[in-house]
Chain A
Amino acid sequence: MVTGDPTAPLLEMQGIVKHFPGAKALDGVDLDVVPGEVHCLLGQNGAGKSTLIKVLAGAHQPTAGTIRLDGEQIRIPHPVAALEHGIATMYQELDVVDGLTVAENIYLGHELASAGFTQRRQAAARTRRLMERLGHPEIGPHQEVGALSAAGKQVVSMARALSRDARVIVMDEPSAVLDSGEVDNLFRVVEELTAQGIAIIYISHRLEEIRRIGDRITVLKDGMTVGRNLPVASTSTDELIKLMTGKDVEYAFPERPGVPQDAPVRLEVDGLGLGDTFRDVSLTVRAGEIVGLAGLVGSGRSEILETVYGARRATAGTVTLDGRTLRRGSVAAAVSAGIGLAPEERKSQGLVLDEPVYRNVTLASFARMARAGWLDERAERKASQEQAAALDLRPRDVERSIRTLSGGNQQKAMLARWLVHGCDVLLLDEPTRGVDVGARSEIYALVRRLADAGTAVLVVSSEIPEVLGLADQVLVVSDGRVVHSAPAQEIDEHQVLDLVMEGTSA
């Protein structure tokens, strides 16, 4: 499968194997990267991408295999060694320290110092140069990183890599935390870096991104390289999906059966407002209907969802469920009335990671299943197992820690929680964040099935095609207001983007 390379490879990984106690995460991975290219690493969750980049970053030691840099075999016994070799990694969860300034973050661990005193002025000057090079001169060296946006933090992380004179930069789903404008800027930076001969290993689920900036693709599946150095331009999407999943997959949204006109209104939001964040939001969701909120990061769409749920206390307006008005600012009231939320940050807001799957599934309902305060664990397991089967949770074992599940399966467990609890209204915030391509269609199908069973669904996503493909009705949110509402069939991505931009500039 190897195609001839015009240039000698900068980085070569051959036959990398990594065993963990009881599991083989990598089982023979080959990867080679030439200077100045954007090398995309593709694979489903659990294919071994994270383990591979941790090997490269010195966080894991490979059980077998060789790594060559400029043709010379190297060892990367610890993260500092990786940096010394010029290999820098930008993790998905950006490893910047919120409480420190930009300059302090960039020089963290290799402070510019003379005789034990940090050279603040010099560090600041170099930081300014790095920021200019990255096209973000507005980020000053003395700003506190915690106050920056996700995109800003990413730039800091990149600047740190450059400050180490990195020749290979690994980017783990860098676009996941960015909205479209920021993604454009990211790509501009990436192009600039590659023009200077730096190689980028780019990990993403978004094929359209890979098409835009990628040069070659390596595909991993089950810890093995199944596709090597595929040219982006000449490899079809179908072929890539086939390699990743081992089967032909239609990346498709479920059909819309159409909501009957007489379907009862389940959720009614009237004039809802939350301080300066958003105001005067009104919407209705009927039984069996999926309503989507589209908008940029910071437009207030997630906050709307959380306020409907009572996780934030509304300053104006009402939320009515089946005719009953909910108490403001009370999650417990919303849950007992029959509203469920699958939050955006699944790990920090949704799951108790060290607890077994079944306890996560019954987190909202164990008290109801209990008898006079005594837990009924048998009923909990049974209900969880039923949902695990119904949602095709993999692995099916509900006793294992939920931490060990992939993003898609964790999301299924979140849905199972509300299925066990039995909710009439389901609020989904970024339902496919961190979910790989194969599992996405499954999640979409599940959501549609829930709606068909009579649930009213309100979904928020920063991926406009997702909203358009999944929802029956689309509301466009911009700058804390709903600026447009239309049936999904009557609006396209371009229109939504226009509305979003318009609303922002207004």
Chain B
Amino acid sequence: MTEPTAVPPADMETKKEGRTRLPSLLSGPAGRNVGLVLALALICVVGVITGGERFASIDNLMVVLRLASVIGVLAIGMTFVITSGGIDLSVGSVMGLTTVWATTWATQAMADDLHWVVMVFTAMAVGTVAGLVNGAIIAYGRVVPFITTLAMLASARGLAEMISNRQTQRVQSDAFIEFFRLEPLGVPILVWIFAAVSVAGWFLLNRTTFGRRTVAIGGNAEASRLAGIKVQRHTLYIYGLAGLTAGIAGAMMLGRTTAGTSTHGMLWELEAIAAVVVGGTLLIGGRGTIVGTVVGVLIFTVLTNVFTINNMSTSAQLVAKGAIIVAAVLLQQRFANRSKST
């Protein structure tokens, strides 16, 4: 379209570049993940020293991974929401709602007639719809995400209690329970699902237009809108995605507990947010990392594991969790400042 004009030699710039490359590499996404993995490794070292064989065993690894998997799937969805500059406080209670809806008498009867997968799809559909409702209110109703999802947190929990009459609903299908007890290659199916969702999430965030839009909207929603991105519609999709992951997590929770109840997922929104933020996703949006989120989830679950193995008190564990969150955010800010001042 345009012919290039005469280009003056840009030797000065290249020099500058060479000088700034090194620190920018350390403060880049790879550097942050290295820091996180180091933190995780440190906790593991403490685990090995204090717990020995009890910590460093394949069986214990599986205990940790199983514990991490359900909350991990929630955190993947949360990563997208936070990267887009939003927040979803409702994922925990939406997950509870999906477990209840998927185990109602009617759903189970249908599952009995057709296939147990009906329950899984029910959970995913209920979660997605709840997420889309969040998204519609935020995008088109222009209500801030915090308030919208806070309202959803309350109403999803309430709806779950109404549907279940505050009773625990057992999963009747043995095939369903059997499926979630499978351990292909010695690894529990829940962990496989978590891995699959993480990989899918990574590709979605880093390799697709969906992910690019998410990052762009989180970085500057107005600029994205003025570049022709349909910000409202995309916001709707993002919360729908978070709802979908809540539904998947709900199905996993059913597999793990064989029961649906309105109390499932209590306070998990906070755990998911903590894992995402510790993982390096900026709470103000514009930068998200799936790898970081996975490591963030693992840091918290391994920490719990180490404390349990050492018979240490709950209270000390909460203090440690709090300290980790603050430390992670402080580190983030330091990196953020450094990358801005150059």
A370 near B17 (CB under 8 angstroms)? no
Cα A188 to Cα B79 in complex, Å, equals 54
Q: A244 — which chain B residues lie within 8 A by C-beta?
A: none
Q: Could you say which of A335, A352, A370 contacts B228, with CB atoms under 8 Å apart?
A: A335
Q: A364 — which chain B residues lie within 8 A by C-beta?
A: 227-228
A353 near B220 (CB under 8 angstroms)? yes
Residue A74 CB within 8 A of the other chain? no
Q: Which of A311-361 contact B (CB under 8 A)?
A: 311, 331-332, 334-336, 341, 343, 348-355, 359
Minimum CB distance partner of B340 in chain A: A403
B216 near A363 (CB under 8 angstroms)? yes
Q: Could you say which of A22, A334, A355 contacts B342, with CB atoms under 8 Å apart?
A: A22
Cα A392 to Cα B2 in complex, Å, equals 12
Chain B interface, DSSP helix/strand/loop, else mixed: helix
Instruction: Tell which of A63-71, A256-264, A393-401 binds the partner.
Output: A393-401
B230 near A390 (CB under 8 angstroms)? no
Residue A21 CB within 8 A of the other chain? yes
Q: B224 — which chain A residues lie within 8 A by C-beta?
A: 352, 363
Q: Which of B222-257 contact A (CB under 8 A)?
A: 222-230
Residue B3 CB within 8 A of the other chain? yes
Instruction: Tell which of B62-70, B92-100, B202-210 binds the partner.
Output: B202-210
B342 near A404 (CB under 8 angstroms)? yes
B4 near A311 (CB under 8 angstroms)? no
A392-B5 contact, Cβ under 8 Å, with A348-B220, A370-B209: yes
B226 near A395 (CB under 8 angstroms)? no
Per CB-CB distance, the 5 closest pairs between chain A and chain B, nearest first, are: A335-B228, A395-B13, A352-B219, A22-B20, A363-B227
Q: Could you say which of A22, A349, A359 contacts B226, with CB atoms under 8 Å apart?
A: A349
Cα A136 to Cα B341 in complex, Å, equals 37
Residue A417 CB within 8 A of the other chain? yes
A332 near B208 (CB under 8 angstroms)? no
CB of B142, distance to nearest CB on chain A (Å): 14
Residue A202 CB within 8 A of the other chain? no
Residue B47 CB within 8 A of the other chain? no
A396-B340 contact, Cβ under 8 Å, with A22-B23, A351-B220: no
CB of B217, distance to nearest CB on chain A (Å): 9
A349 near B222 (CB under 8 angstroms)? yes
B10 near A396 (CB under 8 angstroms)? yes
Residue B185 CB within 8 A of the other chain? no
Q: Which of A131-155 contact B (CB under 8 A)?
A: none
Minimum CB distance partner of B225 in chain A: A331
CB of A223, distance to nearest CB on chain B (Å): 12
Scoring B residues 5 to 47 as 1 if CB is less than 8 Å from chain A, else 0, what string do you get?
A: 1011010011011011011100000000000000000000000
| A–B complex contacts, Cβ < 8 Å, 11 sampled | A21-B23, A311-B225, A331-B225, A348-B223, A352-B219, A354-B286, A363-B227, A373-B209, A390-B2, A397-B17, A422-B1
A332-B228 contact, Cβ under 8 Å, with A392-B5, A392-B7: yes
B1 near A350 (CB under 8 angstroms)? no
Residue A374 CB within 8 A of the other chain? yes
Cα A359 to Cα B228 in complex, Å, equals 14
Q: B339 — which chain A residues lie within 8 A by C-beta?
A: 354, 401
Scoring A residues 351 to 390 as 1 if CB is less than 8 Å from chain B, else 0, what string do you get?
A: 1111100010001101100100111000000000000011
Q: B225 — which chain A residues lie within 8 A by C-beta?
A: 311, 331
Q: Could you say which of B13, B23, B287 contacts A394, with CB atoms under 8 Å apart?
A: B13
Residue A220 CB within 8 A of the other chain? no
Residue A23 CB within 8 A of the other chain? yes
Q: Could you say which of A343, A353, A370, A373 contacts B219, with CB atoms under 8 Å apart?
A: A353
CB of B259, distance to nearest CB on chain A (Å): 38
Residue B215 CB within 8 A of the other chain? yes
Residue A20 CB within 8 A of the other chain? yes
Residue A419 CB within 8 A of the other chain? yes
Minimum CB distance partner of B339 in chain A: A401
Residue B338 CB within 8 A of the other chain? yes
Residue A484 CB within 8 A of the other chain? no
Cα A287 to Cα B207 in complex, Å, equals 37
Minimum CB distance partner of A450 in chain B: B2
Residue B212 CB within 8 A of the other chain? yes
A366 near B228 (CB under 8 angstroms)? no
A375 near B216 (CB under 8 angstroms)? no
B17 near A395 (CB under 8 angstroms)? yes
